[in-house]
Amino acid sequence: MDKKQISILNLKKMKQEKQPITMLTAYDYIMASILDEAGVDIILVGDSLGNVVLGYESTVPVKLSDMLHHVKAVARGVKRALVVADMPFLTYHLSLKDTLENAGKLIQDGGAKAVKVEGGSQIIEDVRALVNAGIPVMGHLGLTPQFIYQIGSYKVQADTEQEAQQLMEDAVKLQEAGVFAIVLECVPAELAAKVTDMLDIPTIGIGAGVNCDGQVLVTHDLLGFKAGFKPKFVKQYANLHEEMMKAVKSYCNEVRERKFPAKEHSF
């Protein structure tokens, strides 16, 4: 595995050479360092931390201060992967000045190498402003969790001809505005393949089929942290919920039975 730090130029080359791109989420130092050592190409500090770490029902309550706290921790744990930070709800819809200032904090203070924004035509000017300021931007189309109150539910998007056409137009506009990649979330696999073929920049799929240029999952889903939670598009590669429950119960039992600490654990 190449030890050199991944850049947006590497990702474009990977698309050209048809090398699949790997992307996972991290919200803390230790998880970021594990993913980085394992060879993940992109580490996303997602506003999904609202659901996964902070216990919110959606990503909407996540503040810029929350993101900064977690981005800093992740950046300290990464040597190779490209660290991308989500711009949370209402940090890039108000004014271009706010957009630039908020993204600047994630890059300058947080240590991220790029930001991710959700939406298409409605955020093109924000994307242009960020790119012109020298900030790499990743787009996000399809299911956009920050719009959940508008969308109504977490379901497959762009499953009508009109919606599919709009998504394709938005993807082209985002590419023209300068994004270096686009996440396609919960869109029909055939449409995702078509968008991938249309674009010169990589697509990163989640619930969007195998023909995207890369794939992303929430790491906690992949590792099975939460019992009973397994969306259709998730493959669970481990069941850490069960393993952690066993370990913690064993600890509690040994403490209560005065088996821990034993002589070898004492000074």
Q: What is the enclosing helix (H) or strand (E) of 216?
A: strand 214-217
Rounded to two decimals, the pTM is: 0.95
Sketch the domain layout of the chain as residue ranges.
8-236, 239-267
* 257 included as an active-site residue: no
- What Rg, from alpha-carbon coordinates, does the chain have? 20
208-253 pLDDT, tens digit each: 999 999 999 999 999 999 988 778 899 999 999 999 999 999 999 9
Q: What is the mean predicted confidence (pLDDT) over 150-178? A: 88
> 21-25 and 137-142: which strand pairing?
unpaired
| SS3 call for 138 | strand
| SS3 call for 97 | helix
Reported CATH class of domain 8-236: alpha beta
Task: Report whether 203 contacts 184 (CB < 8 A).
Answer: yes
Q: What is the mean predicted confidence (pLDDT) over 125-133? A: 98
Spot the catalytic one: 17, 118, 161, 185: 185
Angle of helix 189-198 relative to helix 161-177, nearest 10 degrees, comes to 30
Given its phi and psi angles, is residue 202 left (phi above 0), alpha (psi -120 to 50 degrees) or beta? beta
Task: Report whether 184 contacts 204 (CB < 8 A).
Answer: yes
Nearest Cα residue to 238 out of 249, 248, 252, 227? 227
